């Protein structure tokens, strides 16, 4: 059995779901060595296998799970005699790392044992069942992701309060996003954003890369293009009107940027809606 769900357009919020799935692996089935650009949790439903992160190898079985942090090379393999079945959840967001730390999970501590086996399995099955929803799937999945992580936090023997420094980083990012939301339509420099937040520009860059896997400039561009997509619904606005409304006085640059991100021109995007 292989069941998967992918989310097409995750928002840059506290927590956003990328994908989920359940798979019965064949003997010796493996993935990697490779990396992902988001957090990925696997929870073992049956059988056993091995997981390697950096120099460390872990041998795991039913009721255990492992965390793959973003941008870290990992490798995992099903046992030859009792191959595992597992469910997986991929996600990211401003608070993702903080939630995982409350569950005692990080690149240095990627393994967990969950006493609530039936709870976790039911949560994963309910995620897969959302494929039958016509309109509310993404919201339902996000709710189930919060439930999934809350159970990891609840049963973790290492749970602890969110570190003060993590709280600060979240606050910095939220303030930067607030600045973008108020000023994306005009001329906006990363220097101005850093000054508004009260940080050195290089430190602002580092916390964006660490928590959102993109630079402040990349986030700004993405934010503008998403706003442009919203404005496409208003057919009283020309492409030039939309371009200027999201901070691009040069419609040609806007079109090139839009196509790079969306894979089609603004006009094609509007015609397909």
Does residue 235 share a domain with residue 151?
A: no
Give the range of the structural domain holding residue 187, as residue numbers without chain letter. 164-271
Does residue 135 share a domain with residue 68?
A: yes
Domain final position from 155, 187, 222: 155
Does residue 83 share a domain with residue 188?
A: no
Domain final position from 155, 188, 205: 155
**What are the tokens at 16?**
């956003």
pLDDT at 150 over 80: yes
pLDDT of residue 53: 93
* 3 state DSSP class of 39: strand
Does residue 12 share a domain with residue 146?
A: yes
Does residue 12 share a domain with residue 145?
A: yes
CATH of the domain at 203: 1.10.10.60
Of the ranges 5-19, 38-52, 130-144, 258-272, which one carries the lowest mean pLDDT score? Answer: 5-19
State the Cα–Cα distance between residues 31 and 90, nearest whole angstrom.
15
The number of beta carbons lying within 10 Å of the beta carbon of residue 224 is: 23
Does residue 205 share a domain with residue 139?
A: no
pLDDT of residue 169: 80
Does residue 246 share a domain with residue 263?
A: yes
pLDDT of residue 170: 82
- For strand 64-68 and strand 56-61, is the pairing parallel, antiparallel, or unpaired? unpaired
State the Cα–Cα distance between residues 140 and 157, nearest whole angstrom.
28
**48-53 β-sheet, strand order:** 30-34, 74-78, 48-53, 56-61
Dihedral pair phi/psi, residue 62, rounded to 5°: -45, 135
Mean pLDDT estimate for the chain: 88
pLDDT of residue 117: 80
Does residue 119 share a domain with residue 9?
A: yes
Does residue 130 share a domain with residue 95?
A: yes
pLDDT of residue 187: 87
CATH of the domain at 134: 2.60.120.280
Residues 4-45: tens digit of each pLDDT: 665 655 555 788 888 899 999 999 999 989 988 899 999 999
Q: Look up residue 162 and give its DSSP letter.
A: P
* 3 state DSSP class of 83: strand
Does residue 200 share a domain with residue 116?
A: no
Does residue 123 share a domain with residue 86?
A: yes
**Which of 75-79, 111-115, 150-154, 180-184 is the most confident on average?**
75-79
Count: domains in the chain? 2
Residues 157-191: tens digit of each pLDDT: 754 444 455 567 888 898 999 999 999 998 888 99
Residues 53-97: tens digit of each pLDDT: 988 999 999 999 999 999 899 999 999 999 999 999 999 988 898
Residues 198-208: tens digit of each pLDDT: 999 999 999 99
pLDDT of residue 57: 93
pLDDT at 269 over 70: yes
The answer to whether the beta carbons of residues 64 and 35 sit under 8 Å apart is no
pLDDT of residue 160: 47
Question: What's the Cα-to-Cα distance from 187 to each of 170, 172, 180, 183, rounded to whole Å?
Answer: 25, 21, 11, 8
Domain final position from 112, 133, 155: 155
Does residue 234 share a domain with residue 99?
A: no
């Amino acid at each position: 059995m292989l069941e998967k769900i992918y989310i097409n357009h995750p928002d840059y919020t506290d927590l956003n779901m990328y994908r989920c799935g359940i798979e019965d692996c064949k003997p010796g089935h493996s993935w990697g060595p490779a990396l992902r650009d988001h957090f990925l949790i696997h929870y073992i439903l049956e059988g056993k296998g091995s997981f390697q992160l950096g120099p460390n190898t872990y041998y795991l079985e039913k009721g255990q799970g492992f965390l793959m942090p973003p941008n870290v090379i990992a490798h995992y393999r099903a046992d030859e005699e009792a191959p595992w079945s597992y469910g997986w959840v991929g996600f990211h967001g401003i608070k993702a790392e903080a939630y995982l730390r409350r569950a005692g999970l990080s690149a240095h501590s990627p393994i967990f044992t969950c006493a609530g086996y039936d709870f976790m399995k039911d949560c994963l099955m309910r995620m897969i069942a959302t494929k039958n929803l016509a309109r509310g799937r993404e919201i339902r999945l996000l709710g189930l992701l919060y439930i999934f992580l809350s159970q990891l936090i609840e049963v973790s023997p290492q749970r602890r309060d969110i570190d003060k420094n993590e709280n600060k980083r979240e606050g910095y990012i939220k303030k930067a996003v607030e600045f973008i939301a108020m000023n994306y339509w005009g001329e906006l420099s990363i220097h101005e954003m850093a000054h508004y937040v009260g940080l050195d520009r290089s430190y602002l860059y580092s916390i964006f890369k660490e928590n959102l896997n993109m630079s402040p400039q990349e986030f700004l561009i993405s934010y503008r293009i998403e706003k442009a997509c919203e404005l496409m619904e208003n057919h009283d606005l020309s492409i030039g009107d939309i371009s200027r409304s999201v901070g691009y006085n040069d419609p040609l640059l806007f079109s090139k940027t839009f196509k790079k991100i969306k894979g089609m021109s603004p006009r094609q995007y509007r015609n397909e809606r």
